[in-house]
Amino acid sequence: MIKYLKIIIFISILVITLSCVETKSYSGKLIDDNFKYNSLLNINQVTSNLGQPNFIDPIENKYYYYFEKKIKKNFFNSRIEKRKVIVFNFKKNGNVESFKQHDLNQEQQITFIKDKTKNNLIGRGLIEKIFGGVGKTKPLITSP
């Protein structure tokens, strides 16, 4: 009996200590903070230094590089420590036109548009909603 009690205590202590271990997970490309992005002049230099992008926008000719570092202690306690998105915009000839760097701190600066699409169904009455377009159009009478 004491042997089983020791095993149960050992397993419970093991579970408690392992659940408090902090794990770090990385997703996307590993991006160096000290790298000079303005030194990259064309597509070949960008892909050779940073690798293939996470997403390529063929319409606007942009390359997106994404990086995220997440720290997780348990299911309820996880936080994103670092998140960065780098966007390179290229000209038609392949030279870098501009690049932008977005950070986790800039996430709160997003403004949402207050405009809404008008919904005509809400303005109609209950009978119109039930019967729809009954009686609105005249049927075509064809002569034999």
Q: According to the model, what pLDDT value does residue 29 have?
A: 79
Domain boundaries, the chain: 22-104
Q: According to the model, what pLDDT value does residue 125 have?
A: 66
Q: According to the model, what pLDDT value does residue 139 have?
A: 59
Q: How far is CA 59 from the centre of its chain?
A: 20
pLDDT in tens, the chain (144 residues): 788 888 998 888 877 776 677 888 888 877 777 888 888 888 888 888 888 888 998 888 889 998 888 888 776 778 888 888 889 988 888 888 888 888 876 666 667 778 877 766 566 666 666 776 665 666 566 665
Q: According to the model, what pLDDT value does residue 80 have?
A: 83
Give the distance between the most distant pair of CA atoms in the chain: 101
